[in-house]
Structure 1
């Protein structure tokens, strides 16, 4: 408890305690010592004086007691009582304890000490007056003829001592107050110094290093002040150096970010250009296949059909069968060529627009993957995307549906096309309830997903893929209706 009591004190309270407590303890100790010493001295003084007065009275009252001069004895007692107020009563008694002379102070004390001394005289020697003795007479043994009783009161002496002690207490108190004032002055100076030191440390902690410590001192306090000032100067220099380093690193980082942004912009332009080149090449190849290979396959099929007709008219069944197989094969190759042309350049985008092309993708996926139920919804009145934006959206939808068919094992698939609330962007959401994957791990981000992100980012759009194991996958695509706008 004492430790906790001291821990709650501040510097001012501790310095005040250091200044006041020693002086207070010294005052109490000196006062108590003087008081108890004075009481003991008074007790000893009263005992010595009482015994001395009783002995003196026993010797001086022998004649008055023997001669019966009571007036003399009473006068002596009154003089003693008037001369010494510490004597409360004096009684002179005979051998049968009958008071011969007695006198007391006007006010009897509550506390007193009694001292008794016998009154003795020498017995007269037995001398024969008619027959002289060669030897001198000797005194006989002393005999008691009475006693003196002295009652002493310590109160008058204690009162005198009390007045003397009050003067001593006043002097000690003055010294204690003076020492407290001196201690308080020294403590105040020390507190002011420590307060300036604490204020400087708080300023340093808050990042202000131009500290002011006021009056400088000698000794340990001066060394502490000098150390704090030098520490502040060192920290200020380190801060400036660190700020310069941070500014340099910031400029370098800004340059690196600018270069990265430039590189990213160049990459996106390259992706857009490469996608355009690829799409153009696909279009050219599709046209070449459609115009040349398709026409050739149609010609082969027609020639085979004509050959089969002539063989039938000539009665050549074997030739007719061969010709029909050639025609069937040509038809099959032509259908395959048509599918290849559609994949290379979906002409349905040009004829039906993006919404119709995506709907055809959903329909084809339902034919290829009949285990799942596909649903499609397009918001009425959607604006048509230009070709350079429609193709990335179509490719993303195509890749997402291909992934569902290949990997999802889903039973429900939904595709929704809608316009964003701002009216400037197209939203496409493709969602399934398949097995999904851990999107946070980063291990499942294959080339297809990376290609989807890059393709959409190059077109100024945004792609979000949310997935978790057993919870399916949701692909959200946002593309601006106008080229150059940001999603």
Structure 2
């Protein structure tokens, strides 16, 4: 198990631990040392006292044992027992280990130690049998023997001695506890001062983190904390200056970007005006060319066809079959050229827009595609509330739909195509939605390379509209165009 719970502690908890834990550990260590030392002293005192009492009794009871004076022995034991409360029991026995006298305390006792001591007396002295001649000048040696006449057994308990010393031990522990409490209080006071300083430092750092660099710290403190506070103040000043410089750069760059955006918007507006103007000029040129073709070439072809018809009638009347046959060919050629001329006029300037409006012109165009391409079905629908579209908006919408249908016929390989003209709920925008079930295409590449799509986007952007193309690979294509019904010609 990894003891990392302290890593989640705050500054206050850590400072409190620093202030209290050392003093608490010191109190426990000193108290434990005093207790162990007191116990050791008591046990040594008990051992010395037991041996001393046993020795004294063994010497004082020698002649009582020899003479058999039991009363003397009992009186001696009684006096010794009542003189020292640490003695639990005393007994004197003869050499045959028969108890001659015994005295014991009535209270129970624990931690008792037993000390045995033999009672010995001196026997008569003996002279060495091998005496040396007197001429040698050496005195003969004599030997004194000790004879055991009994035994003294002393049972001593350490409890009374320890109880006697308990008061002194408690006083010492109280002094140590007081010193520990004083150390804790001093440590807590110092930790509080340190926490106050660190709290101000943390508050300054939080202000700097939130972007407020105007911090107040006492920079005149000595030591590491003062250096830390001075460093934070310098950092705050540096960051404030850097922020001010960055703000100035941002303001400058923002102004440059705004100017660039304005220039781009002006260029875009100018581009739209140019596109609108060029489209209008192109449509006007197409209209003029279409009128010229219709009025001049169409009229000439009608005249040729009438002259050929008259020539056919005249040749038939005169019986000239060859001339009649040639006149019929001329009439057929003139009719074919006249039909081609009408198709060219329609492509240059769809007259149905002027007669049927946008919806009718688009429906007529869809019907024409449906006739020309039998492998693909074209369908048209419109909202019932679709109003008359202005001419300057109808022509771009018609051209966008025409270009979209041309692209579908050329590239989509579709079998179903639908064209829908719609109107927004506020009747401020019209929409054109063209769907097919073809193979689709990659819009990210085709938007850049397809001239038809670029032309569509330019036409739509010129009148302030939007064009959106969705074409998942293999799932067909959807072209959605929104056009404002009120065109701002000044933008």
Instruction: Return the TM-score normalized by structure 2.
Output: 0.88
- For 1:485 and 1:75, how far apart are their aligned partners in 2? 141
Distance 1:115 1:378 in 2: 126
- For residue 5 of structure 1, what is the aligned residue in structure 2? 5
Partner of 2:163: 159
Q: Deviations over 1:298-353 (max 9, x none)?
A: 22223333333333344433333333322222222222112111111112211222
Conserved 8 A contact 2:57-2:152 = yes
- Bigger CA drift: 134-143 or 167-176? 134-143
Between 261-270 and 459-468, report the one with greater CA deviation.
459-468
> 1:273 offset after TM fit, Å?
1.0
What residue number does 1:468 align with? 472
Structure 2 Cα separation of the partners of residues 396 and 156 of structure 1: 118
Distance in structure 2 (CA, Å) of the matches to 1:108 and 1:336: 141
Question: Are 1:311 and 2:325 matched, yes or no?
Answer: no
Give the unaligned 5+ runs of structure 1. Answer: 128-133
Q: Establish whether residue 408 from structure 1 lines up as the match of residue 408 from structure 2.
A: no
Map of 2:174 onto structure 1:
170
Deviates more, 1:13-22 or 1:239-248: 13-22
CA distance in 2, matches of 1:466, 1:389: 24
Measured against aligned partners, the alpha-carbon deviations of 1:392-436 in whole angstroms (never above 9, x if no partner) come to 111112212222222222222222223221123322222222222
Query: Post-superposition shift, 1:361?
Result: 0.8
How large is the RMSD of aligned CA atoms in angstroms? Answer: 3.0
Are 2:302 and 1:298 equivalent residues in the alignment? yes
Match of 1:260 among 257, 264, 280: 264
Mapped contact 2:70–2:101 kept (Cα < 8 A): yes
More displaced, 39-48 or 216-225?
216-225
Structure 2 partner of 1:188: 192
- Please say if residues 415 and 431 of structure 1, whose CA atoms lie closer than 8 Å, have aligned partners that are also in contact: yes
Distance in structure 2 (CA, Å) of the matches to 1:258 and 1:324: 67
**What is the aligned length?**
480
Specify the alignment match of 1:15 in structure 2.
Answer: 15
Which of the residues 146, 149, 152 maps onto 1:148? Answer: 152
Query: Of the candidates 226, 248, 257, which is equivalent to residue 252 of structure 2?
Result: 248
Gaps of 5+ in 2: 128-133
* TM-score scaled by length of structure 1: 0.88
What whole-Å deviation, never above 9, does each CA across 1:118-143 have from its counterpart, x for those lacking one? Answer: 3333334699xxxxxx9999685333
Instruction: Please state how far the C-alpha of 1:448 moved relative to its aligned partner.
Output: 1.2
Instruction: Return the match for 1:278 from 274, 279, 282.
Output: 282
Q: Using a 3 Å threshold, how does the CA distance of structure 1 residues 54 and 215 change in structure 2: closer, same or farther?
A: farther
Q: Distance in 2 between matches of 1:307 and 1:96?
A: 183
Shift in Å at residue 97 of structure 1?
A: 4.4
Post-superposition shift, 1:354? 1.5
Deviation for aligned residue 1:257:
1.1
Aligned-partner Cα distance in 2 for 1:355–1:190: 84
SS where residue 113 of structure 1 aligns? strand
Counterpart-to-counterpart distance in 1, 2:282 and 2:15? 87
* Aligned-residue offset at 1:455: 1.0
Question: CA, structure 1 residues 191+145, in 2 after alignment: closer, same or farther (shift >3 Å)?
Answer: same
1:385·1:482 contact (CA, 8 Å) conserved in 2?
no
Residues 118 and 428 (structure 1), Cα distance of their counterparts in 2 relative to 1, 3 Å cut: closer
Which stretch shifts more, 61-70 or 334-343? 61-70
Contact 1:460/1:485, CA 8 A, preserved across alignment: no
Q: 1:354 is matched with which residue?
A: 358
The structure-2 alpha-carbon separation of the partners of 1:420 and 1:95, relative to structure 1 and needing over 3 Å to count, comes to closer
User: Counterpart of 2:147 in 1: which secondary structure?
Assistant: strand
Structure-2 residue corresponding to 1:225:
229
Tell me which residue corresponds to 1:88.
88
Instruction: Tell me by how many angstroms 1:268 deviates.
Output: 0.9
Q: Give SS of 2:34's match.
A: helix
Q: Per-residue CA shift, 1:352-400, capped at 9, x if unaligned?
A: 2222211221122122212122222233453212211111111112212
